[in-house]
Structure 1
């Protein structure tokens, strides 16, 4: 977006307005990153909102489906720590989801033989059946969300997003390692 423009384009979105307002207040700063990051955040929130509304019919949230899906894809039981790392979710959020899903009989916990302080998680038959029912419907919802956008906006989007997440996930690993090193 041209930060020096006095008027917004006809197709402006909320983020265009944010950039325009900031550029007016702080013309000394470049707000290009705000345009990318805030659009990613807004897209994520809108997807989560639609997904949670859809999954409510199944008694699930997107976060719970993510837990169940990770367990369904795994060939072996997972630890809560592994789940938290895989899903990029705080351990407290994972614990809440696990407690709710276990109370509903969708997953089981067993003691981790390699670490007595930890547990291993696996889907129950009911949990696996629910995931197998929900995933096709969730994919149809996601297809419908993408179908609302013009094809040119969706085509080729996966590769640039993959590049961003790969770089940021690698950086996150280095940050996690460096903070771990500082504790020891």
Structure 2
């Protein structure tokens, strides 16, 4: 395989050999997206482990952090933002609360509801973790110019809107 060819090129070439009538352009795009997502997910998971949290747990404390002061959301709001079931969210909240990164308290406006708030410890941790995660992402983009990053961002935004 030449320097400009990758594993996805090999896969699409194999399909062309056995089914030359197929348009494998979508496979070439999504095959690379899937591989990038897997590699970056693994790299981010490894980076967040340094902070004692998983990528999914980072997503919870990160969502609270980026919601702005007072860094409080309901479990339902968190579930909707992160596309998680309430059961999946409960498990993450339990672990993060036990670690002292967030706290749950009754919602003063809804007797049946809860509010989840990031703690000072959680705030400090997520601020460090987001910086570390961005370093990983930035390093992955070093082969692209700023203009290419902007173009890729636009193209991916357009693709996401279409799906």
1:60 Cα deviation from its structure 2 partner = 1.5
Q: Where does 1:155-170 land on structure 2 (aligned, <5 Å)?
A: 155-168=150-163
| Corresponding residue for residue 64 of structure 2 | 71
Aligned residues: 159
RMSD: 2.3
Q: 1:46 aligned to 2:39? A: yes
Q: Report the equivalent of 2:118.
A: 123
Match of 2:106 in 1: 111
Which segment is superposed worse, 88-97 or 52-61? 88-97
Counterpart-to-counterpart distance in 2, 1:104 and 1:85: 23
Aligned to 1:95: 90
Q: CA deviation at 1:48?
A: 1.0
Q: CA deviation at 1:58?
A: 0.8
Distance 1:12 1:67, change over 3 A: same
Partner of residue 49 from structure 2, selected from 30, 50, 56: 56
| Residues in 2 aligned to 1:56 and 1:94: alpha-carbon distance in whole angstroms | 19
Q: Deviations over 1:16-63 (max 9, x none)?
A: 122122233333332211111121111111111111111111112222
Aligned to 2:131: 136
Match of 1:4 in 2: none
| Cα distance in structure 1, aligned partners of 2:15 and 2:79 | 36
Shift of 1:73: 1.3
Residue 171 of structure 1: aligned partner: none
Instruction: Give the TM-score taking structure 1 as reference length.
Output: 0.74
Distance 2:90 2:33 in 1: 27
Equivalent in the alignment of 1:86? 81
Tell me which of the two structures has the higher relative contact order, counting C-alpha pairs closer than 8 angstroms and 6 or more residues apart: 2
- Distance between the aligned counterparts of 1:56 and 1:50, measured in 2? 10
Structure-1 separation of matches of 2:31 and 2:83: 19
> Which sections of structure 2, spanning at least 5 residues, go unmatched?
none
Kindly state the Cα deviation for residue 64 of structure 1 after the two structures are TM-superposed: 1.3
